[in-house]
Chain A
Amino acid sequence: MRARRALQIVEQGGEVSAQRLRRPKRCWALAGLFVALLALLPYLETVPVLYYAVVFIGPLSIAIIAARTKRGVLGRIKVSGWMVLQLLIFALIAGGLGGASHWVYIQQGWWWVPLVAAILLFTFTFFAGMLLDRLWARRVSRVGA
């Protein structure tokens, strides 16, 4: 049946898109490292040069690397409301965790809190980022979505 064959071809195209729209793992590792570095900022407060280097040069480096690498699913698709919501939740969790660790470190003086927060944030960014990326790529590539 030609109609079924044509539909199969379209579905194959969707599968190809779902694969090609995903960012490589190293991008999420890089994003995770950056977020983890932000969580370690409390340690750097006594060294202003390093502190401002992380705060200003870090995002700049990420932006330059992102601009030079292949675009992922974000930037190539029309971002829907629920995607923005997911991104906001992602940012809120990361920001909340980072902020809480900073606060506890200052209030309680527990030196290990930013370190634990950094590890948690790296893991969260790496896995949640990959999951979101994969989810969005699959969703937009769905035939007739």
Chain B
Amino acid sequence: MRGTPPKLDAMIHPIPRLRICALLEPVLEEEFGTVRDLLQISDSALSKQLAALTDAGYVAQRRAPRAGKSRVWVKLTAQGRRAFREHLAALSALAEPSEDSA
């Protein structure tokens, strides 16, 4: 017996946001600068994507010092983690039939 199939999440679907979620998923939180460097995008581009994810309740940001400097820390919320996993499940379900036809 199968439950309702997972749905793609329009908020996570854009590639930059998907990459952000993929980087944040394994960790409790990550520094803004680290995410920016790993994604190789500008501060403003990352801020824009994070703002969208924050508005959706998928990401939380906080300011905290590290090595004497105030830095922004970013993390996926429980809702964000759940949404990301469901999105992955939906992507996998979509990708599966194409493997048969390939």
Q: Taking beta carbons and an 8 Å cutoff, which residues of A are in contact with B?
A: 1, 3-4, 6-7, 9-10, 12-14, 16-17, 20-21, 68, 76-78, 140-141, 143-145
Contact = CB atoms under 8 A, between A and B. Distances in A.
B26 A17 contact: yes
A17 B39 CA distance: 12
B26 A140 contact: yes
B92 interface: yes
A76 B98 contact: no
A77 B28 CA distance: 5
The secondary-structure label for the interface of chain A is helix
Interface of B: 13, 15, 18-19, 22-23, 25-30, 34, 38, 67, 85, 88-89, 91-92, 94-95, 98
A6 B15 contact: yes
B68 to A, nearest CB: 11
Contacts of B94: 1, 3
30 contacts: A1-B94, A1-B95, A1-B98, A3-B91, A3-B98, A4-B98, A7-B92, A7-B95, A9-B15, A9-B18, A9-B19, A10-B88, A12-B22, A14-B22, A16-B23, A16-B38, A17-B22, A17-B23, A17-B25, A17-B26, A20-B34, A21-B26, A21-B27, A76-B27, A76-B29, A140-B27, A141-B26, A143-B88, A144-B85, A144-B88
Given A6-B91, A68-B67, 20 more contacts: A1-B95, A3-B92, A3-B94, A3-B95, A9-B15, A9-B19, A10-B18, A13-B22, A13-B25, A17-B23, A20-B38, A21-B27, A76-B27, A76-B28, A77-B27, A77-B28, A143-B22, A143-B88, A144-B85, A145-B26
A105 to B, nearest CB: 42
Contacts, number: 63
A76 B35 CA distance: 14
Contacts of A68: 67
Contacts of A78: 28
Nearest to A76: B27
B55 to A, nearest CB: 22
A17 B25 CA distance: 9
Contact of A7 (B28, B85, B91): B91
